[in-house]
Amino acid sequence: MRTISESTLLFRSNIELPGGLGLATDEFREGWNFARAVNAQRLEKKIRARGWNFVKIPDESLRSGVGDTSEEAIAGALKLALRRVSLQFNAAEVAHIELTEYPWFFLARVRVNPYSIQRGELPVPVELLSSSIAPRQRRLALDADVLYPNFGNALPQLKQMLISSRTAQAGSQ
């Protein structure tokens, strides 16, 4: 099996590429092939020089896998991550690999970035092409008291229940 590392590129087996761009590939799994000896930056230059589009989609897929060896764990996680890549995207890059060794197995976490390689207009929604993704809102909305009327009242009750529970446990010992 081929060694999978960060910046490894994979293509769907049915990908259409610009004429004159011969890429050597090795079969991986489930309709995906490894690209040999090419990285995303170099490939992007070659594709754009032929008038095609090469677009990185900010929609990462992160999956975990286990195996008896580090290679098995990484390949399993990559397989699961590639299953999450939408059919409208025909390439993916391994963005990050995190490997943990346990006494009897390996655990790998693999993150892939999808790409779209095509000629002509991009059918990718504009919101996916933006360079920044809006961060998730971490605070309650200003009208949270209307949306969650019992939120403020529940905290003192929960605190009292916790104290009562600890007191009861201490008394029974």
Secondary structure element (H or E) that encloses residue 80, with its range: helix 70-83
Secondary structure letter of residue 52 according to DSSP: E
Best-predicted range by mean pLDDT among 128-137, 148-157, 160-169?
160-169
Single-letter residue type at 114: P
73's CB contacts (< 8 A; 6+ apart) are 65, 66, 67, 99, 105, 106, 107, 108
Q: What is the pLDDT of residues 80-130, one digit of tens each?
A: 888 888 888 888 888 888 989 888 889 999 998 898 888 766 555 545 554
- What is the value of pTM for the model shown? 0.63
- Among residues 128, 100, 98, which one has the least CA distance to residue 111? 98
Q: Is 125 or 50 the better-scoring residue by pLDDT?
A: 50
